[in-house]
Structure 1
């Protein structure tokens, strides 16, 4: 059995030889099953993980010997995978939430462009992301990757291609096997627990140099590209910025990055968490999304006129974000904990305002030239399923363009003080998602009904838990 080091060295050496097909040495993706067979054999891969994101963005799927995968075996998952809560429970049928009567199989269709190694496994292992179709090949509208693909296709019908660049924040925390105890930061290389106030601190990053090196190494071996990495405001809170590109590819990267970062942290005896608000009194973790739209034929930024001025599509996109993002917030802030991040006078916005280079607004327009004109959506939290957050954000902007929705005037002052212009909790956000008929133009009604039912089920589970606040203030006072 070849070791990882041997395989990596072999790949590096043969990549210098013109006799070796480039498809064999590429760290990520092949075009055909024949190329996949050669790619796996070249690396001595023994096992392969076929995964797909569920509604929460959790990888689900099957692991098998690579020989079975390359024999073109049929892969399937039960439809119930998309109908359970984050805690693994199955809600009661209500409203538009229904179970498939037979709980029949859904087929997994491997996307060979996502094939890569699993660098943290001891035995040579590969992984790839799968699409989901029905038993006869029909579209499954509620599978998260399909939800995003549908929105991207709507842009393509207009001759456009959306471009996105996510920024993902997360915390490193000390291991904690008792959920009744609060989380706290881990010790860094100095041997001391890192404190807050380390925004953009190089010393803060250096506290976890070896872990960060592993994140980079794991990412490189999977063909994942990190643009920058910084230390955020919270103690041991980091942010990874990804290079801009195709929404499907970037959602895939966020999906894989979350797994990669968790595995790298575990290797060093700590947790990486993408909870929106893991520690009381500290900043929450966001997944900011930079968005623009280009013309497929010309490559021109649709948000800019030929003379460099903002286009009507730019303003209508912002108008759509202002109008519809609050109604799809549950796709960007999907859990009870997500709304703990969205509080006044914190770094997370609680409004639907927009402004030029104004970080207190929900929708910020960064300083750029006409070619890079874009809209940053600062509302999504890092606990969101990246496929659904991107689908909602891009879908809302597209609705604005379709309906020629005019935005409010830009906000020049601080917009994060005073009233809250967003749903304040999970149930309110679910009700807003279901109430707007316009959203059915970009989000399938079957998906909306199923997603809403799962979210209501999660809320009911949460309500069964008695919190420390209740014991502290109600036990002896009421």
Structure 2
């Protein structure tokens, strides 16, 4: 960022009473603090630190035990570096125009923290840049909206929740009117905060919505996705609404996906489009698809990081269950969206809305670049091999995968695998409603 702009931003922060920053942890949960304007300006210009516990809490804010070697309960939980990205500075209109910035984490020597999701993505994008490639991504997110609060769902034990819209009507201009005020605020406020929306509509369940965020540079799109989830919760609260990006909240309705629309550009040209090829599918796109197909089992835990994630990945729900590709086929894991030299792209349909967008984009792009470097052929990839059916299988496969380590780094894979093993251990201790209803009277 030019020094003059950075100086102006520093002055604007110092003139503010307070501001806040966000980072995401390994689960995609926004972590951050609110600082005085002066303190935030100091962080912007000189950097700072934050407790490594930001990577030591699981999604329920329980500290990992010694089984997680970085920031687990057996460690000192000391400081890690924090660097704010001035390019992400924005004012949040739903928070009285308060300044907010996105940060990333460093090791004590100033090098990137290996398990920091934003740093993982930046490392992959640096590889793309070394190949002369510009990665453009558009993120679609599906989620559910309830007329509930954080307190009411707890009082109800997360049962008999009131959906914000009635019935199941896909693409309904009538049903969405039930949350008109909320939707109006999203379209009014989010673009002002640098999160442009392209489309928003109802989906396949009561209270189910889908948004398409305007595409852009991959890192910026990941920032937008992370902020969209945070902003939706904050704006929804003002309307008495609770928003969830849980992959599958009810067996009665479709799950929530995170669809990644990707294209690679070089010297202003979309490398995924070849006017002379069938459906415009270039050789570069074929290699990119093949790389994602080949790497999918190895990185499946990144796309489906929770126990619940696998409840979405079932037949008959337009969620991919095999490593297949097709032309404009929404049943496929990898859907080529045919179009012009400007619009042709690949849609990766595997990730759930619950997954961390920095990591899903990193996994998808790293896999695609691997396919390009090795000139892989999508028709030669074995699509019959079963994909992991649960988090335990996916984690075990990733732990032993040399490819996962090559694409995302040893430090990330070690920490991610250990945290998924922790998540599995927590589930094994749980007694569910299903178990009580099935066994209490009869065994």
**TM-score, normalisation: structure 1:** 0.85
Distance 1:409 1:205 in 2: 44
Q: In 2, Cα distance between the equivalents of 1:338 and 1:398?
A: 26
Question: Which residue in 1 is equivalent to 2:401?
Answer: 436
Moved more, 238-247 or 174-183: 174-183
Alpha carbons of structure 1 residues 435 and 349: separation in structure 2 relative to 1, 3 Å: same
Give yes or no for the alignment of 1:112 onto 2:89: no
CA–CA distance in structure 1, aligned partners of residues 174 and 283 of structure 2: 44
2-side partners of 1:195 and 1:420: how far apart? 37
Q: Say which of 16, 27, 34 aligns to 1:63.
A: 34
Structure 1: segments with no counterpart, 5+ residues: 1-22, 24-28, 189-193
Q: Indicate yes or no: 2:165 matched with 1:200.
A: no
Unaligned stretches of 5+ in structure 2? none
Paired position in structure 2 for 1:5: none
- Once residues 432 and 235 of structure 1 are traced to their aligned partners in structure 2, the CA distance between those partners, rounded to angstroms, is 36
Aligned residues: 434
Structure-2 separation of matches of 1:307 and 1:357: 18
Residue 74 of structure 1, CA deviation? 4.7
Partner of 2:271: 302
Secondary structure of the residue that 1:113 maps to in structure 2?
strand
More helix by share: 2
- Residue 108 of structure 1 deviates from its aligned partner by 1.3
Q: Secondary structure at the match of 1:120?
A: helix
Residue 136 (structure 1) aligns with: 109
Give the aligned partner of residue 348 of structure 1.
Answer: 319
Which of 377, 392, 415 does residue 427 from structure 1 map onto? 392
Residue of structure 1 aligned with 2:119, choices 123, 136, 146: 146
Which of 358, 367, 389 pairs up with 1:396?
367
Aligned partner of 1:216 in structure 2 is 187
Q: How does 1:453-468 map to 2 (within 5 A)?
A: 453-468=418-433
Provide the C-alpha distance between the structure 2 equivalents of 1:183 and 1:460, rounded to a whole number of angstroms.
28
Q: Distance in 2 between matches of 1:429 and 1:136?
A: 33
The answer (yes or no) to whether the contact 1:109–1:132 under 8 Å persists in 2 is yes
Partner of 1:387: 358
Structure 1 range deviating more: 454-463 or 30-39 = 30-39
Distance of 1:96 and 1:408 partners within structure 2:
40
Specify whether residues 445 and 266 from structure 1 end up closer, same or farther in structure 2 by C-alpha distance, changes over 3 A only: same
Give 1:178's aligned residue.
155
Corresponding residue to 1:84 among 40, 57, 70: 57
What is aligned with 1:469? 434
Are the counterparts in 1 of residues 64 and 71 from structure 2 also a CA contact under 8 Å?
Answer: no
**Hey, what's the Cα distance between the residues in 1 that align with 2:319 and 2:287?**
24
Q: Structure 2 vs 1, CA of residues 266 and 55 (structure 1 numbering), >3 Å: closer, same or farther?
A: same
User: 1:142: Cα distance to partner?
Assistant: 1.1
Shift of 1:306: 6.9
Separation (CA, whole Å) in 2 of partners of 1:102 and 1:332 = 31
Q: Counterpart of 2:408 in 1: which secondary structure?
A: coil
The worse-fitting range, judged by mean Cα deviation, of 84-93 and 396-405 is: 84-93
- Whichever of the two has the greater Rg, that structure is 1
| Pair 1:289 & 2:253 matched | no
TM-score (norm 2): 0.91
Quote the RMSD (CA, aligned, Å): 2.5
Deviations 1:222-266 (A, max 9, x none): 122001111111111111101121110000001111111111211
Q: 1:235 is matched with which residue? A: 206
Once residues 307 and 270 of structure 2 are traced to their aligned partners in structure 1, the CA distance between those partners, rounded to angstroms, is 37
Contact 1:288-1:378 within 8 A present in 2 as well: yes
Query: What SS is found at the alignment partner of 2:397?
Result: helix
**SS at 1:462 equivalent:** helix
1:408 Cα shift?
Answer: 2.4
Contact 1:52 1:130 in 2 (8 A): yes
Is contact 2:53-2:77 (8 Å) kept?
yes
